[in-house]
């Protein structure tokens, strides 16, 4: 081996092979321009950072590791991109994503600090800046990746590089340049596409594009390659024949070639393990929705159909991704435009409509819901969530929203089979907010410093720091990728942000399965947790009967009742093997506190009691009296009410509303 050190350590040490029989075409080697053997690629770090701790021992160990991993076949890792043919340089060409187009055009030329960046595309445009460029394109025969070749510095070296690949660059460039001599004296860009394979037997896996510009413009280049000559007056004339040109005299400047990012490449760069694009529907393009959709688009998660009927107003700019020039335009359309502009791949859609009153857009919304892998409600509207819960056909639904003070993020998500619908998960979330001590102030800490942004009564907004929105929205975007990769379970998660120190604490609630019952006037959803609570309390009280009150929520517009929890008997209750009389000690303050902490959602929905072993879970005469009492006292309030009887093998229930019995049902204990 030979090691080359630079006098002032301005570059990393170079490591060269000295063996005559050192294997050529090894990956992670360079053909040295000096001819002093193969240069080993042992560095991938930034030299300014690396040299701060590079000792002689560390250098020797780095070289030893290169040989060890090469011998084991581990140096080029599985999944790593194929080795380039030649290294890159300073000026930059930006190509479209995917397979290079057969015909490219310079769409824009940008000059900065003496360096050019050319944006190429498959369509022609005149907005190229002040410098004219002319593209020569050639595709060579497929090549097997191997050692890194030295960058050609002359047209002669480029000819020597491409000849083994089946391309006579001298002839093809000459034929091309003759047709352009009458045009502008532009700067030539030679664009060479090299199909790459991992082995001779493999299919083409990738395309490498290399690019060069001669150090002279087109007119002078045509003379140097022997295709033209100048008259005494300076005009160009085409030569029909002549001496072989000296291509080694024509210097080349290289271009760095970079592809634009499509969704598949965005997934690679973002660490997103998904193998395909997902179809997503977003309801609401506000604070959390606009950020989550933008973030997931950058991660290549898929395409969004944005549903929103609102327009962008000035105060929205503080916490949304839209910009000042979009004020007054529909949020859905501005969000779609922003999403399609992030990557070199579009496909997002906008539906300007309120999902609850969509008018002529109903068919478009229904189609989007039916085709989606996931519909995400960002609106924080229980009514919208109820609509999505009932939507058929529809894929699974998730909901992401902030609590009233903007410090907590809430995620609700159905599983792939929608075994627990999103409104049922929402009901369990409200129960957790009302009963879990860590969430005691989650819904009860709304800010009072409202700001008025216009003159109408409802034109109010809350101060909300952008950094909080972005922090919690980033977590939300990451969770969507997790949800899409794992459809086996429902989710109810919260993240609580402390604005004083930035600490974020997660909190999770296990989603209870439910049993659903379609009655005459109401649909009843009973959580397994509620049934399990009744059964546990029944067993503890045996041989006596026991009971208590039922907690739940309801949606009168959809005629849905959620029975979520069964409370134990108050301490002043009377119990025996043949009867139960519920007491009331401390019960009302307890239920009122839950009601308050759940933002008025969780409330008293009826009574439950147990029957002892050997007695059917069906109402006795006394039980009928209890239901009549419920009917007489709750009926005037307009609320639904329920009576449950927990027996040994099943639980029986009856629901009433609006002066009549909606229906009865049973829940088999063996079933769940």
Q: Phi and psi (nearest 5°) for 358?
A: -90, -10
Write out pLDDT tens, residues 286-315. Answer: 999 999 999 999 999 999 999 999 999 999
Q: Which of 669, 672, 629 is nearest to 645 (CA)?
A: 669
Say if residues 284 and 493 touch (Cβ distance below 8 Å): no
Mean pLDDT on 570-594: 95
d(CA 418, CA 415): 5
The answer to which of 164-178, 239-253, 334-348, 492-506 has the lowest mean pLDDT is 239-253
The two three-digit tokens of residue 169, written as one number: 């660059």
Write out pLDDT tens, residues 131-150. Answer: 688 999 999 999 887 766 77
Confidence of residue 270 (pLDDT cuts 50, 70, 90): very high
- CA angle at 108 for the pair 104 and 112, rounded to the nearest 5°: 130
Confidence of residue 430 (pLDDT cuts 50, 70, 90): very high
What sign for the dihedral angle of Cα 21, 24, 29, 31?
positive
Q: Is the peptide bond before 24 cis (omega within 30 degrees of 0)?
A: no
Say if residues 645 and 611 touch (Cβ distance below 8 Å): yes
Between 85 and 525, whose confidence is greater? 525
d(CA 346, CA 304): 10
3-state secondary structure 446-472: CCCCCEECCCCCCCEECCCCHHHHHHH
Confidence of residue 447 (pLDDT cuts 50, 70, 90): very low
In the sheet with 38-40, reading across from the earlier edge strand, the strands are 2-4, 14-16, 38-40, 29-31
Between 225 and 554, whose confidence is greater? 554
d(CA 557, CA 87): 66
Say if residues 198 and 82 touch (Cβ distance below 8 Å): yes
Beta-carbon count within 10 A of 240 CB: 6
d(CA 214, CA 251): 6
| Residue 576 pLDDT exceeds 50 | yes
**Contacts of residue 3, Cβ cutoff 8 Å, sequence gap at least 6:** 13, 14, 15, 16, 59
Mean pLDDT on 359-371: 95
Side-chain half-sphere CA neighbours of 604 within 13 A:
16
d(CA 499, CA 496): 9
Mean pLDDT on 612-623: 94
Q: Phi and psi (nearest 5°) for 644?
A: -115, 140
SS3 514: strand
Q: Which of 313, 435, 309 is nearest to 361 (CA)?
A: 309
Q: Could you tell me how far CA 650 lies from the centroid of its own chain?
A: 44
d(CA 465, CA 477): 19
Specify the length of the chain in residues: 672
Superfamily of domain 514-671: Cytidine Deaminase, domain 2 (3.40.140.10)
The two three-digit tokens of residue 14, written as one number: 């170079």
Task: Please give the pLDDT value at position 80.
Answer: 47
Burial environment of residue 357 by CB neighbours within 10 A (0 to 12, 13 to 18, 19 or more): exposed
pTM over 0.85: no
Write out pLDDT tens, residues 160-187. Answer: 999 999 999 989 998 898 877 766 788 8
What sign for the dihedral angle of Cα 616, 617, 622, 625?
negative
Task: Please give the pLDDT value at position 83.
Answer: 45
Percentage, residues of the chain above pLDDT 90: 63
Say if residues 607 and 644 touch (Cβ distance below 8 Å): yes
The two three-digit tokens of residue 2, written as one number: 């030979």
Task: Please give the pLDDT value at position 619.
Answer: 95
**Contacts of residue 572, Cβ cutoff 8 Å, sequence gap at least 6:** 583, 584, 585
**Contacts of residue 436, Cβ cutoff 8 Å, sequence gap at least 6:** 507, 509
Mean pLDDT on 560-567: 98
Q: Which residues pair with 663 in a beta bridge?
A: 655
**DSSP code per residue over 337-386:** HHHHHHSS----EEE-SBTTB-GGGHHHHHHHHHH-SEEEE-S--HHHHH
Write out pLDDT tens, residues 507-563. Answer: 999 999 999 999 988 899 999 999 999 999 999 999 999 999 999 999 999 999 999
Q: Which residues pair with 94 in a beta bridge?
A: 119, 258
d(CA 205, CA 199): 10
d(CA 333, CA 68): 56
Side-chain half-sphere CA neighbours of 272 within 13 A:
30
Residues identified as active-site: 545
Q: Phi and psi (nearest 5°) for 209?
A: -115, 125
| Residue 235 pLDDT exceeds 90 | no
- CATH 3.40.140.10 residue ranges in the chain? 514-671
Say if residues 474 and 295 touch (Cβ distance below 8 Å): yes
- CATH 3.40.50.720 residue ranges in the chain? 268-508
Write out pLDDT tens, residues 94-113. Answer: 999 988 888 999 888 888 88
**DSSP code per residue over 517-549:** EE-SS-EEEEEHHHHHHHHHHHHHHTTS--EEE
| Residue 380 pLDDT exceeds 70 | yes
Task: Please give the pLDDT value at position 13.
Answer: 86
Task: Please give the pLDDT value at position 146.
Answer: 75
Domain 268-508 coded CATH 3.40.50.720: yes
Percentage, residues of the chain above pLDDT 70: 90
| Residue 452 pLDDT exceeds 90 | no
Q: How far is CA 422 from CA 199, 491, 514, in A?
A: 51, 10, 12
d(CA 429, CA 423): 10
Say if residues 206 and 85 touch (Cβ distance below 8 Å): no
């Amino acid at each position: 081996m030979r090691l080359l050190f630079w006098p002032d350590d301005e570059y990393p040490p170079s490591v060269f092979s000295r063996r005559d029989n050192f294997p050529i075409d090894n990956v992670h080697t360079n053909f040295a321009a000096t001819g002093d053997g193969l240069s080993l690629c042992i560095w991938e770090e930034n030299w300014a950072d690396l040299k701060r701790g590079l000792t002689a021992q560390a250098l020797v160990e780095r070289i030893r590791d290169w040989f060890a991993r090469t011998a084991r076949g581990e140096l080029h890792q599985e999944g790593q991109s194929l080795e380039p043919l030649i290294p890159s340089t300073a000026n930059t060409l930006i190509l479209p994503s995917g397979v290079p187009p057969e015909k490219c055009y310079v769409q824009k030329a940008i000059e900065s600090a003496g360096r050019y960046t050319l944006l190429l595309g498959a369509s022609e445009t005149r907005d190229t800046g002040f410098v004219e460029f002319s593209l020569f394109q050639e595709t060579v025969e497929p090549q097997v990746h191997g050692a890194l070749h030295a960058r050609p510095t002359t047209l002669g070296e480029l000819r020597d590089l491409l000849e083994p690949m089946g391309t006579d660059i001298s002839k093809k460039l000459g034929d091309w340049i003759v047709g352009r001599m009458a045009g502008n004296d532009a700067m030539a860009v030679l664009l060479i596409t090299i199909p790459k394979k991992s082995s001779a037997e493999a299919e083409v896996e990738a395309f490498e594009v290399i690019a060069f510009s001669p150090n002279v413009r087109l007119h002078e280049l045509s003379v140097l390659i022997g295709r033209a000559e100048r008259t005494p007056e300076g005009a160009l004339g085409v030569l029909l024949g002549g001496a072989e040109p000296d291509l080694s005299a024509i210097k080349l400047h290289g271009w760095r070639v970079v592809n634009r990012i499509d969704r598949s490449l965005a997934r690679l760069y973002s660490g997103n393990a998904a193998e395909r694009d997902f179809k997503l529907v977003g309801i609401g393009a506000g604070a959390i929705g606009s950020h989550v959709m933008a973030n997931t688009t950058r991660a290549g998660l898929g395409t969004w159909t944005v549903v929103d009927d609102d327009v962008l107003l000035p105060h929205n700019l503080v916490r949304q991704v839209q910009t000042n020039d979009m004020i007054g335009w529909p949020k859905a359309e501005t969000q779609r435009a922003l999403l399609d502009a992030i990557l070199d791949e579009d496909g997002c859609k906008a539906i300007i409509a309120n999902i609850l009153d969509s008018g002529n857009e109903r068919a478009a919304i229904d189609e989007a819901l039916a085709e989606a892998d996931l519909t995400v409600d960002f609106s924080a509207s229980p009514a919208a969530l109820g609509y999505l819960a009932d939507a058929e056909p529809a894929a699974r639904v998730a909901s992401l929203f902030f609590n009233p003070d903007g410090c907590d993020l809430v995620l609700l998500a159905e599983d792939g089979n929608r075994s627990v619908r999103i409104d049922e998960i929402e009901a369990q979330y409200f129960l957790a907010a009302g009963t879990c001590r860590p969430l005691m102030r989650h819904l009860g800490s709304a800010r009072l410093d409202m700001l008025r942004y216009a003159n109408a009564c409802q034109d109010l907004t809350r101060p909300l720091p952008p950094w909080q929105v972005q922090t919690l929205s980033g977590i939300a975007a990451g969770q969507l990728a997790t949800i899409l990769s794992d459809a086996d379970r429902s989710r109810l998660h919260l993240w609580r942000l402390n604005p004083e120190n930035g600490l974020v604490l997660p909190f999770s609630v296990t989603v209870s399965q439910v049993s659903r019952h379609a009655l005459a006037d109401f649909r009843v959803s009973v959580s397994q947790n509620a049934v399990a609570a009744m059964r546990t309390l029944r067993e503890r009280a045996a041989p006596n009967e026991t009971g208590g009150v039922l907690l739940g929520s309801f949606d009168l517009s959809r005629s849905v009742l959620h029975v979520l929890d069964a409370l134990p008997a108050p301490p002043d209750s009377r119990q025996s093997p043949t009867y139960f009389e519920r007491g009331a000690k401390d019960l009302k303050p307890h239920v009122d506190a839950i009601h308050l902490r759940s933002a008025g959602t969780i409330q008293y929905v009826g009574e439950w009691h147990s029957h002892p072993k050997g007695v059917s879970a069906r109402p006795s005469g006394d039980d009928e009296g209890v239901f009549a009492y419920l009917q007489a006292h709750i009926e005037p309030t307009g609320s639904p009410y329920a009576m449950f009887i927990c027996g040994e093998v099943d639980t029986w229930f009856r629901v009433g509303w609006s002066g009549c019995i909606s229906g009865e049902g049973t829940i088999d204990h063996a079933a769940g």
